Amino acid sequence: MEECEALCTRMAVMVNGRFQCLGSTQHLKAKFGEGFSLIIKLHARAGEQSIEDKTLALMDYVDATFPASQLKACQVFSCLFIYL
């Protein structure tokens, strides 16, 4: 979407070879936008608290800061968390 905003004044969205919508990026965001996504990746360093402790602290912080957020994906092996 960022590239379209920088280069285009209007854009179209196609699904299965058919146009679904056409308009400016601002119009499409206002009409079809759902909000924000928050993607977080944790790193563990030697001598710091464990990755499990960091994970729990992160989840508590996000829940307190964004009470309506929902955890969409959690890949613990790669320490990647995606909130909507």
Does 28 share its domain with 49? no
Q: Are 4 and 11 in contact, with CB atoms under 8 Å apart? A: yes
Tell whether 18 and 55 lie within a shared domain. Answer: no
Residue in the block written with tokens 């909507």: 84
Pairing mode, if any, of strands 80-83 and 71-75? Answer: antiparallel
Q: What is the pLDDT of residue 78?
A: 65
Adjacent-strand bridge partners of 14: 19
Residues 25 and 42 in one domain: no
Asked if residue 79 and residue 56 are part of one domain, the reply reads yes
Mean pLDDT score, 60-77: 81
The number of helices, as runs of H, and strands, as runs of E, in the chain is 3, 5
Host domain of residue 7: 2-32
76 and 51 co-located in one domain: yes
How many domains does one find in the chain?
2
79 versus 58: which is more confidently predicted? 58
What is the average per-residue pLDDT within 15-34?
83
Task: Tell me what pLDDT residue 84 has.
Answer: 67
Overall pTM > 0.85: no
Task: Give me 21's structure tokens.
Answer: 């919508």
Q: How confident is the model at residue 1 (pLDDT cuts 50, 70, 90)?
A: low
Q: Are residues 18 and 45 in the same domain?
A: no
Does residue 77 share a domain with residue 42? yes
Which of residues 13 and 1 earns the better pLDDT score? 13
